[in-house]
Structure 1
Amino acid sequence: MREAPQLGGVSIPRGDGSRTIRLRRGASISDLADKLETLTNFSVQPGALVTALFHLGEMATATESLDEATFQILGEELGYKIQIVSPEDEDKELLEGFGLDLEQELEDEDDSDLEIRPPVVTVMGHVDHGKTKLLDAIRKANVVAGEAGGITQHIGAYQVWTEHDGIERAITFIDTPGHEAFTAMRARGAQVTDLAILVVAADDGIMPQTVEALNHAQAAGVPIVVAVNKVDKEGANPAKVRQQLTEFGLVAEEYGGDTMFVDVSALNNVGIDELLDAVLLTADAGLDLRANPNKDARGVAIEAKLDKGRGAVATVLIQSGTLRVGDAIVAGTAYGRVRAMHDENGEAVEEAAPSRPVQVQGLSSVPRAGDTFLVTEEDRTARQIAEKREAVERNAQLAKARKRISLEDFTRALEEGKVDSLNLIIKGDVSGAVEALEESLLKIEVDDSVQLRILHRGVGAITESDIDLATIDNAIVIGFNVRPDVKARERAAREGIDVRFYSVIYSALDDIESSLKGMLKPEYEEVQSGVAEIREVFRSSKFGNIAGVIVRSGTITRNAKARVIRDGVVVGDNLAIESLRRFKDDVTEVKTDFEAGIGLGRFNDIQIGDEIETIELVEKPRG
């Protein structure tokens, strides 16, 4: 391979700005060097690129994951366009490397391969408007009673059967959490769904989360059926709800629009059958709900948790194909063989067709809510895909965590000392809650003097290794609906590690925000405490010049910080009232309208008519 030409004293092939280099998220300088070699057929040493980056005011090692902005700067210098591949494209390319082109697979399907599948419905709306109660009424089960703070903390998926036009039809429901901190998971719910039920309380009307849920559903391009709940409650006004929603493009059929509104009472089981009919009518009218059941299964992990007796358990929704016990599957960075499957009632099932939600056992680890899953022919392929995804994810996290720092900033940071940081380890019972908590914590706004670092997040009980990590990095451990095991509890007590437990997400957010604000260095502002006018200047061989003054305002205190002002201009700053006397007595303070003698130490440039101003530094309260 040829030697590259010199650029800035190092050997790097120069581009003309027209060629594009595609890099994955979290790539390193070594990856860029490999891509340059392939593109130009020149030998490129990673060290040369490190040097080039150094000259641009950035420091990085050859194997360190870099962010997009750093690559853009380096690419511009070298004459190449650097394109960071999106996570979706990245995963698509990864799967294509294993001979799995999912888009092509769908295109190749013939109409004769497709069979009708049940609609997948997401129930969305404002907290307290009765989404969970509505699902209770639909599936005759009580979920609300077990929820902390009355708020749904987990995503669940259920299938119900109803008679429609004399035929028994299935509908799959996804229950998305209600609190605003779960926005990310609610958005995921809208992405896997065919149709959304927007629940609005008839006595409450449109609320912020109603609009938020509506935006998610509209962004996903899914039809919406509105369930006007609590119609039998005092003060209920279903007509007002219909009127309010017209502003958001949802016009009721009775007003000449095409959105079905159904008045229901989840508490008293009113209007439930009509709501299910409306769902099926809307689905049949505007959607082509068909999938090929005769192939390897593809779908989405709706939720996942670590079960003490069963290991990693994932609730998956099959979108096409049929999932069977014994299949080799990969879901995100988790892989394994399907050891057992259960439906929402805990009944064992041998196979699951499209639109069927099932709980799957047998995965190596806990996938994240929203991870796609697919069946592979061999266990080895599933493992390799999972390992590659994990490596990509780890590099992306490292790039995200890397704080870009210029040489000037680096020098300044060394001079000023380390930036304060609050280190956290988050453990929760389900992956969706952990992810939502992490996202919400990272949105807490404090100034740049304090950093929030999440060192580790995971699903399951707090373990001894979590405490070890917290000990090394002086971190706080947050347990969300989980507790430490015996060894971890003893280790935490021995090491003095702060372990906090929460069951409602906003309690955790409030505590961490308070802790962060408590870490902020106090801000001080200057407050004038006294002003004295110099009436006379006494010369002393022993003490220098002494100012004979009269105090015009406030109080002059010995040892107070002071400055000398002449004609409105500061002529002496950062001084101190080193001596303060009234007649022959030393005093600690002199109040307004009293005379005194003031010595300012070695500062002797004082004249009659000058003002001596004393100041105090007062801590400003944080907002």
Structure 2
Amino acid sequence: MSSNGVTDVGSENSEKNNTKTKTNTMKESKGETVSSEKKEPIDGNEGNGGEDTEQKDKKKKKKKPAKKEEKKDTKDTKKGGPSKKMLSLMKENLQKLNEEEEKFKREEEERIEREEEAERQRLERLRIEQEKKDRKKQKDKERKERLKKEGKLLNAKQKADKQRAQASLAAAIRDGQIVVGRQKPKSEKKVKSGDKSSVKPLESQGSEEQTDSLPKEDEESDEESEASDLDVKDDWEELSEGDLGEDKEEVKTPKKEKEVVKRSESITKPIKELTIKDEKLEKFSDGEPPKRQFRSPVVCVLGHVDTGKTKLLDYIRKSHVQDGEAGGITQQIGATFVPPSAIEEQTKGVKATQKKDLLLPGLLIIDTPGHESFSNLRSRGSSLCDIAILVIDIMHGLEPQTIESIELLKARKTPFIVALNKIDRLYEWRSNPRKDVEDVIGSQVQNTKLEFTKRVKEVIVELAQQSINAALYYENYDFRSYVSLVPTSASSGDGMGNLIALLISLTQSMMAKKVAFDPINLDATVLEVKAIPGLGTTIDVILVNGKLREGDKIVLAGHEGPFVTHIRSILMPQPLKELRIKSPYQELKIVYGSMGVKIAGHDLDKAIAGLQLLVAENETQIEEHKNYIWSQFGKAMKAIKCSDKGVYVQASTLGSLEALLEFLKTSKIPYCGVRIGPVVKRDVMKASIMLESSPDHAVILAFDVRIERDAQELADHLGVKIFSAEIIYHLFDRFTAYKEELRKQRRDQNKNLAVFPCKLRILPNCVFNTRDPIVVGVSIEDGLIIPGTPLAVPSKANIEIGRITTIEINHKAVEIARKGQEVCIKIENFGGDAPKLYGRHFDHTDLLMSRLTRESIDVVKEYFRDDLQKSDWQLMIELKKIFEII
């Protein structure tokens, strides 16, 4: 065979082999198995002998470059196919994938198992809860059936009726009324849980239900007995919350009998409480007072006008008393009782370290006016109180009435705390009334903190100037030496809880003796005397200590001397209602201090407010009390002194009347008569007496009272003016405006009669006309001139030269000219005398003076007094001597 044929056959064989190799490689890659190396092409003619071999060798020798190219091609094919290293990596990757897949399967199986287990547990819990609910329902059903058999099961309406009855009874006991108690059955005996004899019958009663075999059943029976215990408690505990609960004693059970008695305690307890409360109610029915350790402290609120005193109390009461006051100004003393429940509500947010357990029965807070005119009411309020709250506006510091209040407190040695009010007005203040004010201050932004610190320091310095050491309450470690400052806001409520908590803490710890309840010694003061429609004239009384009963004989100071009357009824406002605000009253048979009450009785219109109320049990005591009150009454009557000429004053209460009279005194307005009550025809007749002697004072000043229609008609007919207002300052302003109007009218009427004193010197180079009218320039050496002033020449035998008709300065007419000015005047002749000539009758060397008369001097004194200065009056005295006026 030719070499070409061999080559062709070899090439064909090689191509076939190559095709097989590729096929095998693809198959291996599909089955994820690859051959380790690529086989060489196989010659198909290996078995033909040596010829073929020789020819092949020759061919190889001849074509060495072709072999090199083939080797290169072989290398290229090797590079294109997978190597051993790559195959091993691929195997490892496959192995890892298999392992991860197995791991994922295992985790998925475990997760499913866990979920199934959790679901089983949840279903088990639900089953247990459902069983518990079923058991509880069954117990409730059994309990209701048992109560139904016993007749104790009540429907909603019956429960509501019972609660209302119990609440009213509890309120009556708390307020100190005589309550007829439920009589205790004679056969009923007191049961003690520690007594074996009492345990046995109780055990026998419960023997049907009691089983000792299983502890669970014991627990269930205990729950049943506790449920019945709660039912009985609901009926009786409301009666004893304030007064009856204090005397309960703990029931001690011997240790040996503890297990035996365990079940019976819950049954014994309500029976024991029933017995105790029956005894208590019997005590009240006998009229005995409740045992009290403390009375309610009397707290007085003082401060300057508009510092927020009434607003402070409004926040505590959750009311709007200030909105109902005329102009928002407190003009009478008001008393408010704050019960323990309100105190606890207000002090919820206060830190536990600053709170004490409440032992007081409440607080009696007195609100006093802050205006200057009401110093008598502030004085009256501060003399009553045990502790005071001095309200200071943090934005303004100490003000005049604040300083006056401090002096009152120092004079009476009354302890007080300072409420730094209106902290919400600090820039960027963020309020939180539910938190302690110390924490609220700490939560403010830095600028607000700095402003607060600065203003507090200013107040502390101002108080130090009044000889008072002060510090913020949470920085005060010596309450006896330093006055506590409590930052408050009556508007937002910040610090209000801290203020009340500090009041309670100080009164219970440092003033325990002072606020101790004393049922024997009566201490009561009449605050106001006021007429109430339907009740007649009543008196508002602050009962600080002791007790008052309906029907007691009381001795009071009156305008005509001490008098005796009986208490017809005792009325008390609802808790957190002010005494002076119209509201429904509770009528009591007996009342204990401290409390603000309204008393109705006979002849109370004669009573004077501000003095003590005394109770007399026999005739001897009546005389003793009268003598004591007479001395006090004498001092009070000195304050009300009427003059012969003056206005007629009426007010609704004596306190406001005193304030108005004090204001009239400082304003130098005399008063000829006073009365409490509405303006009637009789008052107009009394005021009309002034029409003859002093028409200016034929006026009735009616402060906060009603004016009857017939009285107004009579006043219009007679010419008596009646001014009425609800604010004392408005009343004064109206009367002042009326007087000013009268004065202006009288001035206009007497303008031509008034002559002002003057000394004039003629300027020789300013004589413009020498004969009627004389026009000259003058220099005013003393006094003053107005148009109409008559002039005379004392050096020429008091010759009268005429009247000034016009006055000019720089060619402009003026109405008045005073000492030191140079003016041009025109003098015209008056009367029937011949006109006087300048140069013949007088010249520039003569002084011109105003021609005074007795009548002109009197007119100036009466109507133009304020127009003259001190030097003018001295000149008038000099001219009186020159003109020889007596």
What TM-score do you get using the length of structure 2 for normalisation? 0.46
With a CA cutoff of 8 Å and minimum separation of 6, indicate the structure with the bigger relative contact order: 1
Structure-2 separation of matches of 1:579 and 1:392: 60
Deviation at 1:612, TM superposition (A): 5.4
Describe how 1:265-414 pairs up with structure 2 within 5 A: 265-287=489-511, 288-290=513-515, 293-295=518-520, 297-333=522-558, 335-345=564-574, 346-366=585-605, 367-377=607-617, 381=622, 392=634, 396=638, 400-401=641-642
> By percentage of residues, which structure has more strand?
1
Structure-2 separation of matches of 1:579 and 1:511: 38
1:396/1:620 Cα in 2 relative to 1: closer, same or farther (>3 Å)?
closer
Structure-2 separation of matches of 1:442 and 1:595: 46
Structure-1 separation of matches of 2:304 and 2:825: 65
Describe how 1:439-588 pairs up with structure 2 within 5 A: 439-445=662-668, 452-474=669-691, 475-516=698-739, 525-527=756-758, 531=762, 551-553=776-778, 561-564=790-793, 570=795, 572-573=797-798, 575-577=800-802
1:360/1:622 Cα in 2 relative to 1: closer, same or farther (>3 Å)?
farther
1:564/1:463 Cα in 2 relative to 1: closer, same or farther (>3 Å)?
same
Describe how 1:159-308 pairs up with structure 2 within 5 A: 159-160=337-338, 161=340, 162-163=343-344, 165-169=356-360, 170-235=362-427, 237-239=451-453, 240-245=455-460, 246-247=463-464, 248=466, 249-252=468-471, 253=473, 254=475, 258-287=482-511, 288-290=513-515, 293-295=518-520, 297-308=522-533
* Structure 2 residue identity aligned to 1:185: L
Check the 8 A contact 1:579/1:599 in 2, yes or no.
no
1:115/1:465 Cα in 2 relative to 1: closer, same or farther (>3 Å)?
farther
* Structure 1 residue identity aligned to 2:553: A
1:131/1:596 Cα in 2 relative to 1: closer, same or farther (>3 Å)?
closer
The corresponding residue for 1:613 is 848
Structure-2 separation of matches of 1:595 and 1:431: 61
Structure-2 separation of matches of 1:132 and 1:596: 67
Deviation at 1:298, TM superposition (A): 3.2
* Structure 2 residue identity aligned to 1:273: G
Check the 8 A contact 1:470/1:476 in 2, yes or no.
yes
Structure-2 separation of matches of 1:373 and 1:343: 17
Structure-2 separation of matches of 1:595 and 1:455: 48
Deviation at 1:147, TM superposition (A): 0.7
1:155/1:357 Cα in 2 relative to 1: closer, same or farther (>3 Å)?
same
Check the 8 A contact 2:526/2:539 in 1, yes or no.
yes
User: SS of the counterpart of 1:467?
Assistant: helix
Check the 8 A contact 1:299/1:317 in 2, yes or no.
yes
Check the 8 A contact 1:316/1:360 in 2, yes or no.
yes
Structure-1 separation of matches of 2:358 and 2:522: 27
Deviation at 1:117, TM superposition (A): 2.2
* Structure 1 residue identity aligned to 2:791: A
1:391/1:276 Cα in 2 relative to 1: closer, same or farther (>3 Å)?
closer
* Structure 2 residue identity aligned to 1:302: L
Deviation at 1:444, TM superposition (A): 0.8
Per-residue CA shift, 1:529-580, capped at 9, x if unaligned?
773879xxxxxxxxxxx99999453899999623326xxxx46447343999
Deviation at 1:182, TM superposition (A): 0.7
Per-residue CA shift, 1:441-498, capped at 9, x if unaligned?
11115xxxxxx33122222111221111012233311111212223323322332321
Deviation at 1:324, TM superposition (A): 1.1
Deviation at 1:242, TM superposition (A): 4.9
Check the 8 A contact 1:185/1:369 in 2, yes or no.
no
Per-residue CA shift, 1:72-107, capped at 9, x if unaligned?
xxxxxxxxxxxxxxxxxxxxxxxxxxxxxxxxxxxx
Structure-1 separation of matches of 2:550 and 2:827: 96
Structure-2 separation of matches of 1:255 and 1:443: 41
Structure-1 separation of matches of 2:537 and 2:798: 67
Unaligned runs of 5+ in 1: 1-112, 404-420, 446-451, 535-545, 581-590
1:387/1:227 Cα in 2 relative to 1: closer, same or farther (>3 Å)?
closer
Structure-2 separation of matches of 1:323 and 1:595: 83
The corresponding residue for 1:80 is none
Structure-2 separation of matches of 1:391 and 1:200: 35
State the identity %: 26
1:126 aligns with 2:307: no
* Structure 1 residue identity aligned to 2:616: T
Deviation at 1:121, TM superposition (A): 0.7
Structure-2 separation of matches of 1:374 and 1:424: 35
Check the 8 A contact 1:427/1:459 in 2, yes or no.
yes
1:621/1:433 Cα in 2 relative to 1: closer, same or farther (>3 Å)?
same
1:501/1:301 Cα in 2 relative to 1: closer, same or farther (>3 Å)?
same
* Stretches (4+) displaced over 4 A: 382-398, 400-403, 514-524, 527-530, 546-550, 554-560, 591-601, 604-610, 616-623
Check the 8 A contact 2:359/2:508 in 1, yes or no.
no
Decide which structure has the larger Cα Rg and report it. 2
The corresponding residue for 2:60 is none
1:579/1:324 Cα in 2 relative to 1: closer, same or farther (>3 Å)?
closer
* Structure 2 residue identity aligned to 1:180: E
User: SS of the counterpart of 1:577?
Assistant: strand
1:553/1:186 Cα in 2 relative to 1: closer, same or farther (>3 Å)?
same
The corresponding residue for 2:321 is 143
Deviation at 1:151, TM superposition (A): 0.8
Aligned length: 463
The corresponding residue for 1:30 is none
Structure-2 separation of matches of 1:563 and 1:151: 58
* Structure 1 residue identity aligned to 2:848: E
User: SS of the counterpart of 1:149?
Assistant: helix
The corresponding residue for 1:117 is 295
Deviation at 1:372, TM superposition (A): 1.4
1:223/1:179 Cα in 2 relative to 1: closer, same or farther (>3 Å)?
same
1:453/1:431 Cα in 2 relative to 1: closer, same or farther (>3 Å)?
same
* Structure 2 residue identity aligned to 1:298: D
Structure-2 separation of matches of 1:559 and 1:265: 63
Describe how 1:96-107 pairs up with structure 2 within 5 A: none
Unaligned runs of 5+ in 2: 1-290, 345-354, 430-450, 575-584, 692-697, 748-753, 766-770, 806-822, 853-859, 869-886
> By percentage of residues, which structure has more helix?
2
Structure-2 separation of matches of 1:274 and 1:548: 84
1:393/1:306 Cα in 2 relative to 1: closer, same or farther (>3 Å)?
farther
Check the 8 A contact 1:190/1:196 in 2, yes or no.
yes
